[in-house]
Structure 1
Amino acid sequence: MTVSDPTGLDAPGKARALYEARRTRVPIAPFTDAEPRLGMAEGYAVQRALTDLLLADGERVVGRKVGLTSTAMQRAIGVDSPDHGPVLASTVYRDGDALPLDRFIAPRVEAEIVFVMGERLLGPGVGPTDAARAVAGVAAAMEIVDSRIADWRITLADTVADLASNGAVVVSSRVVPLAGLDTRLIGMTLTRGGELVDTGAGAAALGDPLAVVAWLANVLGEHGVALEPGHLVMTGALHAAVPIAAGDVWRAEFDRLGPVTTRVTAGAEVAA
């Protein structure tokens, strides 16, 4: 028996379209071209349906990414709050790993601060101090954002539906304790092949990266979902996203946290 959708959203159908775009690397038109009134709530309904499809394939959620944490990015897309999506196990790379370009459609790199959860954190009522107590530490990271929506013509509903434009994350193995560390003041430089591309600081992420963790715990808590021990929390770009290309060597270096590096290849490398 087919269950009717009284909202007319067809979240399963939209999720399937995004699922196929991820599989084939062929982008689709924005949902908001045909349905301009779609908003954040509809985007998250599609995101949940898409996540279910990926989990059914054996994927695992190992954390969360938060986007639109800077004032500049919020203004660019016309919103006044961040968005979030899952971090999937298959998309996590270690410091120094090769990053195959053929996994993506239109990838861009962002340097970010990532927290590793040490304790379960469930909203509501979570503040930055609560978040600080719950995290095991902080590390250097880069996120590769990608869009299954053609030409990055995204509105809020489109990017939320598309797992907040997730692509991959590259995470340092060095996790630094928070004691004596003000994450707002962590400076960062991003280089490509040794040449400076951009700079940033932790305060670009909602004024305090720990405020991002608190925001996420409270938003997820509305649905009974917690941040679990070992989960990664990507706290948002500290600069404008930059397109990547095969042959690039990207390095983000953070005060107190150290560097994280990735080398972009045309495709997956096969061991001899």
Structure 2
Amino acid sequence: MFEMSNENLDVAAKKIWDCWNAGKKMDELPKNLKPKSKEDAYLVQRQVVQKSGDHQVGWKIAATSKSGQKHIGVDGPLAGALLKSKIKKNGAEINLKTNLLKVAELEFAFQLSTDIPPKDSKYKKNEISQMINTLIPTMEIPDSRFNHFLNEGQEQIIADNACAGFLILGEPIETNGEELDLVNHEVLAYQNNELTPTKGIGSNVLGDPLLALTWIANELIAHDNFLRKNDIVTTGTCITPIQLIDTTELTGDFGVYGKVTTKFTDY
């Protein structure tokens, strides 16, 4: 349900983007600028992308695990846009000085071989699996523009681009999506070159990263949008978010799918 005026949508988006661009935070949006529905929240998010002047290269999914949903007080996954300037190459150095969360997440991402346009019924996993041609091991460094993001609720988090920060891409691997079996695939993390005790697994991502991809395909269509050819979609963390305090380097080891490494400063 759309409730916000075009003017309030614009002002809310400007406040969020200005904070993001300046590396600043705010406690919350003014009451009259807070979206009260997912429909309005996604409209604010779209305006944030427009105000960035950046090129959108795909999508991210937040809160794809029950623990992640509980952590930020939402009852399901949330979609956010990936901006070109926030995509970094393997081995990139990320400055954490203005980052509020200071965590890293290891995620399976896919690149689409075709548009996934609206249709009369919801897409199913077997259909979506045929629409990808690339798997990419990724590391997300999420962030928020809200000091109290844990208490903001799903509408504010969606408007804030689902806690988008930086996304570091490993080497892409050509793949036949129909042959992928990621449910039981383990992912390891090496923090300052030492193996962490926490392991990731594909089933942490809505049961299967391909199910998460299916979810966002249907979610965007429900909100007057859709996935497009060549979009990169990162599907949510398969590992408990890794605290980056005193971390100079972190590597995610996706086994046969490769590794992704990021270096950090001002942590």
In the other structure, the counterpart of 1:255 is: 255
Please give the secondary structure, in 2, of the residue aligned with 1:31. Answer: coil
Give runs of aligned pairs for residues 121-160 of structure 1, distance below 5 A. 121-124=116-119, 125-153=122-150, 154-160=152-158
Give runs of aligned pairs for residues 75-224 of structure 1, distance below 5 A. 75-102=70-97, 104-124=99-119, 125-153=122-150, 154-178=152-176, 180-197=179-196, 198-224=198-224
1:97-152 CA distance string (max 9 Å, x none): 22233464443210111111112212442111111100012121111100110144
Q: Identity of aligned pairs, percent?
A: 23
Give 1:24 shift.
1.8
Tell me if structure 1 keeps the 8 A contact 2:42–2:223: no
User: Structure 1 residues 43, 200: CA separation in 2 closer, same or farther (over 3 Å shift)?
Assistant: same
Give 1:90 shift.
0.3
Gaps (5+ residues) in structure 1? 268-272
State TM-score, norm by structure 2.
0.87
In the other structure, the counterpart of 1:66 is: 61
Please give the secondary structure, in 1, of the residue aligned with 2:91. Answer: coil
What amino acid is the match of 1:70?
Answer: S
What amino acid is the match of 2:182?
Answer: T
Tell me if structure 2 keeps the 8 A contact 1:69–1:206: yes
Give 1:68 shift.
0.9
Tell me if structure 2 keeps the 8 A contact 1:27–1:149: yes
Aligned residues: 260
1:18 is aligned to 2:13 = no
RMSD: 2.6
Give 1:33 shift.
7.5
Give 1:39 shift.
4.2
Distance 2:243 2:10 in 1: 31
Tell me if structure 1 keeps the 8 A contact 2:12–2:33: no
User: Structure 1 residues 92, 35: CA separation in 2 closer, same or farther (over 3 Å shift)?
Assistant: closer
In the other structure, the counterpart of 2:51 is: 53
Distance 1:118 1:184 in 2: 22
